[in-house]
């Protein structure tokens, strides 16, 4: 099965990528922030669940997400205060079973240390049928346990995201939107299993299959 590294740039490309800090990350007043949370129709539209309509009241509600995978459960706390557009989209898709019965299609074990998921096609090129702007990039860092959006360039967020399983240096170009609270050991077990190097040394499909059975959202 083809697994293109479309949505998270290769290590070489990442080193050449300049930092991006869009206006949405500069803590604008509520009206401007709401306006920035616009979801724009985009292709592809795989397993289409509709396009969310941002609700600032619902978006502000904190929540945790638990991914029950074939390798164990991974839970993260969504940063609804820092990345409301992103966390609202993730919850919208999760509550509509978008991620259920999908698999994490990319593991990197050299220079960058992430497990990438969220593509129902498993190719690295799939998306939910809409895109939305970057957020929370000012001062963004990617220590172990970070959950962030994969993308194909500025403001191209869709459904693909990644877990950082070991401290990683990346340019502030990938919206951080969550912190792992349980399951970092699961991520490290997956990483220890290695990958198939399909995209180059240290970059490919995880040798331990990571099938997402379901994603449970707990509000509060």
Query: pLDDT value at position 36?
Result: 63
Predicted confidence (pLDDT) at residue 8 exceeds the cutoff of 70: no
What pTM value is reported for the model? 0.86
Q: Whole-angstrom Cα distance, residue 108 to residue 194?
A: 9
- The lowest-confidence range among 12-21, 123-132, 154-163, 184-193 is 12-21
Percent of the chain surpassing pLDDT 90: 84
| Residue entry with tokens 């009206």 | 31
220, 72 contact by CB (below 8 A): no
Give alpha helix (H) positions in the chain: 11-16, 30-36, 56-59, 84-94, 184-192
169, 141 contact by CB (below 8 A): no
Predicted confidence (pLDDT) at residue 23 exceeds the cutoff of 50: no
The more confident residue out of 165 and 18 is 165
Predicted confidence (pLDDT) at residue 21 exceeds the cutoff of 80: no
Chain segment 84-94, per-residue pLDDT in tens:
999 999 999 99
The more confident residue out of 208 and 21 is 208
- The class of domain 41-47+57-219 in CATH terms is mainly beta
Chain segment 61-72, per-residue pLDDT in tens:
999 999 999 999
Chain segment 73-110, per-residue pLDDT in tens:
999 999 999 999 999 999 999 999 999 999 999 999 99
Return the biggest CA–CA distance within the chain. 47
How many angstroms separate the Cα of 25 from the Cα of each of 22, 50, 87, 209?
6, 26, 14, 35
161, 78 contact by CB (below 8 A): no
Q: What is the mean pLDDT of the chain?
A: 87
Predicted confidence (pLDDT) at residue 124 exceeds the cutoff of 50: yes
Predicted confidence (pLDDT) at residue 22 exceeds the cutoff of 90: no
Binned at pLDDT 50, 70 and 90, residue 25 comes out as very low
How many angstroms separate the Cα of 71 from the Cα of each of 79, 95, 108?
25, 22, 17
Binned at pLDDT 50, 70 and 90, residue 54 comes out as very high
Binned at pLDDT 50, 70 and 90, residue 143 comes out as very high
> Domain-by-domain residue ranges, the chain?
41-47+57-219
Q: Using CA atoms in the order 88, 93, 97, 98, what is the torsion angle rounded to 10 degrees? A: -150
How many angstroms separate the Cα of 131 from the Cα of each of 15, 86, 154, 159, 200?
25, 10, 11, 8, 28
């Amino acid at each position: 099965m083809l697994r293109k590294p479309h949505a998270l740039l290769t290590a070489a490309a990442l080193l050449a990528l300049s930092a991006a800090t869009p206006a949405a990350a500069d803590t604008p007043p509520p009206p401007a922030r709401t306006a920035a949370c616009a979801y724009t129709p985009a292709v592809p539209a795989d397993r289409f669940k509709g396009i969310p309509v941002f609700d600032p009241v619902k978006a502000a509600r904190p929540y945790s997400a638990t991914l029950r995978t074939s390798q164990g459960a991974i839970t993260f706390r969504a940063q609804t205060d820092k990345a409301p557009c992103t966390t609202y989209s993730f919850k919208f898709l999760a509550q509509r079973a978008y991620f259920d019965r999908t698999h994490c299609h990319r593991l990197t074990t050299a220079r960058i240390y992430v497990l990438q998921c969220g593509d129902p096609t498993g190719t690295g090129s799939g998306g939910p049928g809409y895109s939305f702007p970057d957020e929370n990039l000012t001062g963004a860092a990617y220590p172990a346990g970070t959950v962030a959006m994969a993308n194909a360039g500025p403001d191209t967020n869709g459904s693909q995201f990644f877990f950082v399983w070991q401290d990683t240096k990346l340019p502030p170009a990938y919206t951080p939107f969550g912190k792992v609270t349980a399951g970092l050991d699961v991520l490290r077990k997956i990483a220890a299993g290695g990958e198939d190097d399909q995209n180059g040394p240290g970059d490919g499909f995880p040798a331990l299959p990571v099938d997402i059975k379901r994603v449970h959202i707990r509000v509060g």
